[in-house]
Structure 1
Amino acid sequence: MRWSKTHSLLAVAGWCLTATCDDDLQAQKSFLSPDGFPDIAAMREMPDLDELLPKLSDTARVYYPGTDDFKAASARWSANPKPRVNAVVVPGTEEDVAETVRFANSLDIPFLAYGGAHGTLSTLSNMDWGIAIQLSQLSSVEIAADGKTATIGGGTLMKTVQDILWDAGKQTVTGACECVSYVGPALGGGHGWLQGHHGLASDQFESLNVVLADGTLTTVSPESNYLWWAMRGAGHNFGIVTSVTSKIHPLTHPDWALETFMFAGDKIEDLYTLANEHLLQYGNQPADLVSFSFWMHVPAVDPVNPVLAFSIMQEGVTTVSSTYTSPFHALSPLAVDIKSGTYRDIASWFHINADSPVCLKNTGLAGLRFPLYLERHNVTAQRALYTAFADGTRGEDNPFHDSVFIFEGYSFLGVKGRESGDSSAFAYREGNNMLVSPNVQYTVTTPERDEQAREFGERLRDIMWQGSGRRKKRVYVNYAYGDEGVEELYGDEEWRGERLRGLKRRYDPRGRFNYYAPILTE
């Protein structure tokens, strides 16, 4: 998540966690030396798209470098990594996606599909030429007559899903940030505020319409396809989801409350001991409770070291219960901020609503993440981690000064109870009660700076991992940096890797979907 120095103290503390005619198309085709577009893509000669255009629907669009439409359609949240493409196809229908994939295959052109364009995996940079398939026109939410499911278009953003369901008195498990797509995070599992009740976003899936690597448009469901297991946790490797039918739930508790505490770094041990005992509760954090904490520089409070912002949020109340907050008040926080409202207010509380600065793209900033699942806070390691983070970000002239360390504490009761551990490709249902990640934020300037950012993030993650006592890192694929192995992303049980590799060989033998946390690279 990107941060703005213009945010107030407690606002910053409160993050949680983004008909053209054929003549016009011909006029845009000066794309072999486009102004302002990455040189490597410009240098790759790509076949003409004239044969594709008649096969697309009237609402489809094709954009080329050198145009404002191309710039907008290819914009990304993070400046690193940066996929490079020679054209953007914006499908108007599901069949347009299939036609584009078949066309690309016929000429051996790489392609990359995306919705919100918030992915930051380093493997995305392997896309150095080809066609982008931007899914923004596949935006829709259709609620079934029985009110139990909704069919959601593959490019629909979180805010659209939340708003339409809310107006119908419904909810489903969605992520926190309003400008991120619904489908993208769900393919990697999908954490959300309501997971304590209903499980992950991918646990809500009933079926998916998917364009496979060969351009076939098929329906993946429990009854019809071997990919059902893989699409829920490793779905980025197997196809382009053009729509998904998901379970939805009655809106029974619209009210939410938030209390955020600000502490200096000397409270590390006391703060996270309390978090372990009163909130995480060895994996039994109540379903209606979410706890998040953030480390960041707020010079007005501490001009030298990062401060600690600790947020407790509760569903179904107008004030967070003192049962949860009283122990933290006893630590004498520097400041306390209290908010109340409805589910729809949460994103604005944390400044991740669709109109917030953090949803801007093409800013020149990078936000690289190095996540790890933990069972609980290791208080000793937490001190070492804080020291390393402070040392690596200290000073306003430090390129990583605006980095943020984020500790996401969702309830896992619904995640553990909704599905068995082997029911999907998402491996981390048990014993992984905290999702922790440094967000190394900086202005992209040189490859050397990018490497410094990687080394810093990896160093922080290694401290967490060593403190966990685990043999292997357990990594959330949606936050991954990109150099993690299959066992770290998808589970270290041998059968998981074997099953995923077998499915990959069967459904994507040419590695067409190898740009996001690939299972096979050869």
Structure 2
Amino acid sequence: MPLIDRAVIEKLKSTLPNLHVLTPDSVDYKKSLERSMRNTEKPAGIVVFPTSTKDVASLVSFGQDNSLDIAVRGGGHSASGASSTDGGMCIDLCKMQAVSVDTGTMHVTVQGGALWRDVYLATERFGVALVGGICGNVGVGGSALVGGYGWLTGAHGLAVDNIVEAEIVLADGSIVAASSSKNPDLYWAFRGAGPCFGIATSIVFQGYKQGFVWHGDLIFPPSALTAVAEFMNYLLRVSKGESSAILMMGMLPGMADPALVVQVYYDGTESKAKEFFAPLFKLRPMGDSTKMKSFAGTTGGGDDLPPGLGEVTSGGIMVPMDSVFLESLLKDYLAFVKLVPDASETIIAYETHPTYGILLHAQTETAFPNRGTFGNVIISARYTKEETAVACKEWCRAMHDKVHKEFVRRKMVDNVDEVTKTAVGEYINYDGLGENPERLYGVNYKKLVILKKIYDPQNVFNKCVDLLPRSDNAVVQQMN
């Protein structure tokens, strides 16, 4: 770890005397480096905790003036390690978590360091909810600015589709607003590639009236996979967002064998919910935690997992889901955890929200490039011993390539719509393998590169996705 010169640190402290600053010799320094996956942690040269947009702007300017690498931490869940820096300055937004609700417009204003759990708890007092993450301890900024799937996605699209305006600190330290009428080109780029362009210190989302919902887990043996997939295909065919489900394959705490967990959601009464999900109940689940609850109570997917080691990747799964292909992935999973016992907590999850809300917007309407009639496959290999890392990364790569190959095949043989034809089949929030930026952004890549050269020509914000890798300099020059 390259050390930041002591004189530079003292200069920062004198410039912003009220700022909380941690250095490698500080008591809480090691704790400040903790991330949801320990293998993404890096030893920052300095960790700073701004409390205002002005603080953030001053820190970015200071980092530029002193040639410091900059990372931004929201919730610390980045699969690629984007919230960490090796020897640079980490700007931790955890002291910026305010949430406010305008009950007239139902606009929800969220500071950049807020977590989804806190947002839902704040908005439910007003009978309002918004499209956001299912895992409550994930940061709002990091997840929403590159997509943002949630229980309301089927009805209202992605989190990026519901961003009304954002307050952004750019690479030169300036503070700007982005909306449909203010810096519209930046507004376009920020909704899908936000972390590549600046730091969102405040985001205004469109909220929606929301009451209690029916939600919980139904647990089945792996032998029920084909029947479960058949029901989920039915759900995806008929739902306009009132119902949704996520399927997970994995080892549950206290169980000796892997199981299927179907996390179900219904926006309505319990009787209506059980009527709709009756085909799953006919399969006689081994476990059932479903009940009526507040919308804030639907978070928790992964919230109780302690920080650990892991590799994450993802791909697209076309609708209707092919049960034969799902069975092959289940076999791959079972073989892997048998071969690598240290990776017994590995999971494969199918995040297949109804696509109605997603397809209300064109592929190029925002920078988000992954709309279509499909869901996400999340492949997460968790392990406890560092020597297991290589095997887990290699398995994740092999599984990613298998899923992507099938996604491309289905796009070619199925009669897909024009939007789906241009989808990339990759979700950046789950990209732990560092895919090529052109592959990640597809039809929106060239426009993003042009805007990146305008708003961040020095490539200060390069952690989430590096839109200007050095090897692409020739391409970039041709676009100017």
- TM-score w.r.t. structure 1 length? 0.81
Quote the residue 2:86 is aligned against.
Answer: 128
Quote the residue 2:394 is aligned against.
Answer: 455
Matching of residue 318 in structure 1 with residue 270 in structure 2: yes
- The answer on whether the counterparts of 1:378 and 1:467 sit within 8 Å (CA) in structure 2 is no
Measured in 1, the distance between the counterparts of 2:312 and 2:86 equals: 22
- The answer on whether the counterparts of 2:218 and 2:262 sit within 8 Å (CA) in structure 1 is yes
Measured in 2, the distance between the counterparts of 1:148 and 1:322 equals: 30
Q: CA deviation at 1:315?
A: 1.1
Q: C-alpha deviations, 1:153-206, integer Å up to 9, x for none?
A: 111111221112111222211211221111210111111111222221122212
Q: After alignment, is 231-240 or 259-268 more displaced?
A: 259-268
Report the identity percentage: 24
Quote the residue 1:497 is aligned against.
Answer: 445
- The answer on whether the counterparts of 2:346 and 2:382 sit within 8 Å (CA) in structure 1 is yes
Quote the residue 2:246 is aligned against.
Answer: 292
Q: Which amino acid aligns with 1:482?
A: L
Measured in 1, the distance between the counterparts of 2:187 and 2:332 equals: 42
Q: CA deviation at 1:423?
A: 1.2
Quote the residue 2:164 is aligned against.
Answer: 206
Measured in 2, the distance between the counterparts of 1:262 and 1:49 equals: 53
- The answer on whether the counterparts of 1:52 and 1:99 sit within 8 Å (CA) in structure 2 is no
* Pairing of 1:161-180 with structure 2 (within 5 A): 161-180=119-138
**Aligned-residue CA RMSD in angstroms?**
2.4
Matching of residue 477 in structure 1 with residue 428 in structure 2: yes
* Pairing of 1:302-317 with structure 2 (within 5 A): 303=256, 306-317=258-269
Secondary structure of 1:394's aligned partner = helix
Unaligned runs of 5+ in 2: 413-422, 471-480
- The answer on whether the counterparts of 2:349 and 2:378 sit within 8 Å (CA) in structure 1 is yes
Measured in 2, the distance between the counterparts of 1:414 and 1:167 equals: 25
Distance 1:444-1:207 versus aligned 2 partners, 3 A rule: farther
- The answer on whether the counterparts of 2:101 and 2:109 sit within 8 Å (CA) in structure 1 is yes
Q: CA deviation at 1:505?
A: 1.5
Q: Which amino acid aligns with 1:222?
A: S
Distance 1:50-1:421 versus aligned 2 partners, 3 A rule: same
* Pairing of 1:26-37 with structure 2 (within 5 A): none
Q: Which amino acid aligns with 1:119?
A: S
Matching of residue 425 in structure 1 with residue 379 in structure 2: no
Q: Which amino acid aligns with 2:235?
A: L
Q: Which amino acid aligns with 1:324?
A: F
* Pairing of 1:260-299 with structure 2 (within 5 A): 260-276=217-233, 278-281=234-237, 284-298=238-252
Matching of residue 467 in structure 1 with residue 402 in structure 2: no
Q: Which amino acid aligns with 1:456?
A: W
Measured in 2, the distance between the counterparts of 1:247 and 1:325 equals: 29
Distance 1:326-1:164 versus aligned 2 partners, 3 A rule: closer
Q: Quick one: which of 94, 99, 114 aligns to 2:73?
A: 114
Distance 1:67-1:188 versus aligned 2 partners, 3 A rule: same
- The answer on whether the counterparts of 1:94 and 1:242 sit within 8 Å (CA) in structure 2 is yes
Q: Which amino acid aligns with 1:179?
A: N
Secondary structure of 1:218's aligned partner = strand
Measured in 2, the distance between the counterparts of 1:335 and 1:85 equals: 44
Secondary structure of 1:391's aligned partner = helix
Q: CA deviation at 1:241?
A: 0.8
Q: CA deviation at 1:68?
A: 3.0
Q: Which amino acid aligns with 1:392?
A: F
Quote the residue 1:157 is aligned against.
Answer: 115
Distance 1:130-1:343 versus aligned 2 partners, 3 A rule: same
Q: May I ask how many residue pairs the two structures share in their alignment?
A: 456
- The answer on whether the counterparts of 1:92 and 1:138 sit within 8 Å (CA) in structure 2 is yes
Q: Which amino acid aligns with 1:399?
A: D
Q: CA deviation at 1:518?
A: 1.6
Q: CA deviation at 1:421?
A: 2.5
Distance 1:57-1:422 versus aligned 2 partners, 3 A rule: farther
Measured in 1, the distance between the counterparts of 2:107 and 2:69 equals: 35
- The answer on whether the counterparts of 2:117 and 2:299 sit within 8 Å (CA) in structure 1 is no
- TM-score w.r.t. structure 2 length? 0.88
Distance 1:291-1:153 versus aligned 2 partners, 3 A rule: same
- The answer on whether the counterparts of 1:196 and 1:287 sit within 8 Å (CA) in structure 2 is yes
Secondary structure of 2:11's aligned partner = coil
Q: Which amino acid aligns with 1:138?
A: M
Secondary structure of 2:119's aligned partner = helix
Q: Which amino acid aligns with 2:223?
A: D
Q: CA deviation at 1:320?
A: 5.4
Distance 1:206-1:55 versus aligned 2 partners, 3 A rule: farther
* Pairing of 1:242-253 with structure 2 (within 5 A): 242-251=201-210
Distance 1:124-1:157 versus aligned 2 partners, 3 A rule: closer
- Structure with a larger share of its residues in helix: 2
Quote the residue 1:35 is aligned against.
Answer: none
Secondary structure of 1:137's aligned partner = coil
- The answer on whether the counterparts of 1:150 and 1:245 sit within 8 Å (CA) in structure 2 is yes
- The answer on whether the counterparts of 1:371 and 1:436 sit within 8 Å (CA) in structure 2 is yes
Q: Quick one: which of 294, 298, 304 aligns to 1:342?
A: 294
Distance 1:521-1:41 versus aligned 2 partners, 3 A rule: same
Unaligned runs of 5+ in 1: 1-39
* Pairing of 1:85-104 with structure 2 (within 5 A): 85-104=44-63
Q: After alignment, is 232-241 or 475-484 more displaced?
A: 475-484
Distance 1:474-1:319 versus aligned 2 partners, 3 A rule: same
Secondary structure of 2:343's aligned partner = coil
Q: Which amino acid aligns with 1:385?
A: L
